[in-house]
Amino acid sequence: MSAPRLSAVRMTGADAILRSLEAEGVDVVFGIPGGAILPLYDAMAKGTTVRHVLARHEQGAGHMAEGYARASGRVGVAVATSGPGATNLVTPIADAWMDSTPLVCITGQVRSNLIGTDAFQECDITGITIPIVKHSWLVQDVAELPAVLKAAFHVARTGRCGPVLVDVPRDVQEAELDFSYPDEVSLPGWKPPRRGHPRQIAAAAQAVAAAERPILYVGGGVLNADATAELRELAETARIPVVTTLMAKSAFPESHELHVGWPGMHGPKWSNWALNKADVIVAAGARFDDRVTGKLAAFAPGATVVHLDVDAAEISKIRHAEVPVVGPLKPVLARLARELAERCEPERTAEWLAQISEWRERFPLRYGNGGELLKPQRVLEVLRDLTSGRDDVVWTTGVGQHQMWAMQYLGCDRPRTFITSGGLGTMGYGIPAAVGAKAARPEATVVCVDGDGCFQMTCQELATAVLEELPIVVVIVNNGYLGMVRQWQDMFFEERFSHIHLSHAVPDYAALARAYGALGFMVDSDDQLEETLAEALASGQTAVVDCRVDPREHCFPMIPAGQAAVDAVEYDPGHDAEALAL
């Protein structure tokens, strides 16, 4: 047996997990205890610098860890017990996988001698999660714990960020080891790129310098890479307009003249036109998702693609890249900006920028303001106006119409201030993500724009927000329906509405909020809207504002699934008048 290192301290596996988290600088974890993770919770009770936020459902804990990660840029940590505790983490893990959110999940497992016997609360969580983690470990030897945790954090945050899982049997938590946290990680098979190839970056610069109608198509990778300053430098140096995907909202200041909106299914027409009529697309940390491209064959048919990404597998996965650059985006964007500073004429894009401005004028976002019912878009406009100029507001959303309106109407100028579930489209993401974001940024006002459907999937975490003193404001865009499904049934299923009605009033959201110890408000007309939202935002407490809005309102424009940007369906005032007459 090799002698323990001089600094090694004898302790249990559970203590070693906590000391490892402390060594990683983790300040907060989100979780729920249970049988197989009891030793770790006992270790917490004995003392640690790590704060534990007690969620009400492990899915909530997972999304909190995601919200924390997205708001802070650090790795989020979720803790759960074996079996159902672990399976409840599956949705957040899949969400983090799709959106490349760095996440370390620590799960308890039944005792080693019981594994494989269908013991109480046993499930093969490492097996279940194989397709949705970057890597996972079932720790079988307590001596391996420090190295495994070191590796887990390293893998989660290096290369393309994402989730990892560490499954620790109860007896491994109880066994003793000589603990010392390793300085180095030993992973011979994990070699994310460290820099972009200078020749490829030069080729990218050449393509951009020669372009008349270049555009930066920015994805969430830029936020993950902490490369927003480099992005701005590049855009300003070469005078390139920027579209940011849903995941990249806040990666580029939205009040900046070069920001030209958000591409994709519910992006404004001018944003999609700019992307589709470009001659050179510089994709940075974006993955040509089907919600962005629509019909692939018709997507930006004339464009040369320069694709910058830390993940080589994204390059030419969907759309062939004429100029591939694999590497971490921070140095790649910085170098590209430097090369362009020397060789491009910024004025060359003046005409192109003027063209986009003209489209912007011609195709503004529109919605009808007839009728007596409060319009959902109005809720977002008021929220935008109430927070305008503030740099301490962090938004989260659920998934659906309200999310798309939030993308369209809210303005984000600072990085990591718009936190949403993009790839997986996880309804119920908003409230727990907001709690996590608040833990990361206690000084910020964290606002969850939620739908009534989403709210009911995770509203139990209001208890967490209240009792853990992580106050959030939840604004429910309550149309009484699963609104996006309603829109699809209306537009593509001949108005056969099928199992989408939730009702405006059950539950009574304001009363439910008060039951949780939060403030509860209800608004159903424009004249109370601003005042009520302002009160909730200024309250400093967890508050729920139930905004009862017009259920007939559709989210426009909309590029129907599988169709091209030119097929976008727009708001039709005539249709609106017809509906009102009924």
Partner 1 sequence: MRHTISVLLENRPGALTRVTSMFARRGFNIESLAVGPTERHDVSRITLRVDAEKHSLEQIEKQMHKLVNVLRVAELAPGESIERELALLKVAAPPSARAELMALGEVFNARVADLGPDSIVFELTGSPEDVDSFEELVRPHGLQELVRTGRIGLGRAARGGTRPRSQILV
Residues that bind partner 1 (CB under 8 A): 126-127, 130-131, 134-136, 138, 140, 155, 159-160, 187-190, 193, 197, 311-313, 315-317, 324, 326
Instruction: Tell me the closest approach of the beta carbon of residue 492 to partner 1, in angstroms.
Output: 26
Tokens describing residue 147: 């190295």
Angle at 245 between CA 358 and CA 238, to 5 degrees: 60
Closer to partner 1 at the Cβ: 159 or 415? 159
DSSP string, 442-490: TTSEEEEEEEHHHHHHHTTHHHHHHHTT---EEEEEE-SB-HHHHHHHH
Write down the least CB distance from residue 192 to partner 1, Å. Answer: 9
| Chain mean position to CA 226 | 15
Q: Whole-number minimum distance, CB 160 to partner 1, in Å? A: 8
The CA distance from 300 to 427, in Å, is 31
Angstrom distances, CA of residue 297 to CA of 97, 271, 309, 564, 570: 27, 19, 22, 8, 22
Distance CA 264, CA 262 (A): 7
For residues 304 and 425, what is the distance between their CA atoms, to the nearest angstrom?
Answer: 30
Between 67 and 324, whose beta carbon lies closer to partner 1?
A: 324
Q: Which is nearer to partner 1, 11 or 312 (CB)?
A: 312
| Residue 202 C-beta: closest distance to partner 1, Å | 15
CB nearer to partner 1: pick between 148 and 543: 148
Give me the phi and psi of 124, to 5 degrees please.
-80, 80
Distance CA 515, CA 118 (A): 39
Q: How far is the CB of 125 from partner 1 (least distance, A)?
A: 12
- Rounded Cα gap, residues 124 and 121, in angstroms: 10
- Between 326 and 437, CB nearer to partner 1: 326
Cα–Cα distance for residue pair 440/67, rounded to 1 Å? 8
What is the smallest separation between the CB atom of 133 and partner 1, expressed in angstroms? Answer: 9
Smallest gap from Cβ 148 to partner 1, in A, equals 12
- Which residue lies nearer to partner 1 by CB, 133 or 447? 133
Q: Name which of 103 and 379 has its Cβ closer to partner 1.
A: 103
Q: Which is nearer to partner 1, 130 or 566 (CB)?
A: 130
Of 527, 520, 492, 220, give the one whose Cα is nearest residue 372. Answer: 527
Residue (311 or 576) nearer to partner 1, CB: 311
Give the nearest distance from C-beta 109 to partner 1 in angstroms. 13
Nearer to partner 1, 75 or 523 (CB): 75
Least distance between partner 1 and beta carbon 187 (Å): 6
Cβ at position 209, least distance to partner 1 in Å? 22
Q: By C-alpha distance, which of 307, 275, 305, 312 is closest to 291?
A: 275
Looking at the DSSP assignment, which residues form a beta bridge with residue 280?
A: 214, 304
Give the C-alpha separation, 44 to 50, whole Å. Answer: 8
Q: How many residues does the chain have?
A: 582
Question: Closer to partner 1 at the Cβ: 109 or 271?
Answer: 109
Pairing of strands 135-138, 103-109: unpaired
Nearest to 492 by CA among 558, 415, 575: 558
Rounded to whole angstroms, the Cα distance separating 212 from 316 reads 23
Cα–Cα distance measured from residue 223 to residue 235, given in angstroms and rounded to the nearest whole number: 15
Shortest separation between residue 285's beta carbon and partner 1, angstroms: 16
Rounded CA-CA distance 184/484 in Å is 48
Given the complex with partner 1, which of 148 and 547 has the nearer CB atom?
148
Q: How many CB atoms lie within 10 A of CB 485?
A: 17
Tell the smallest beta-carbon distance from residue 401 to partner 1 (Å).
Answer: 30
Q: How far apart are CA 279 and CA 195, in angstroms?
A: 27
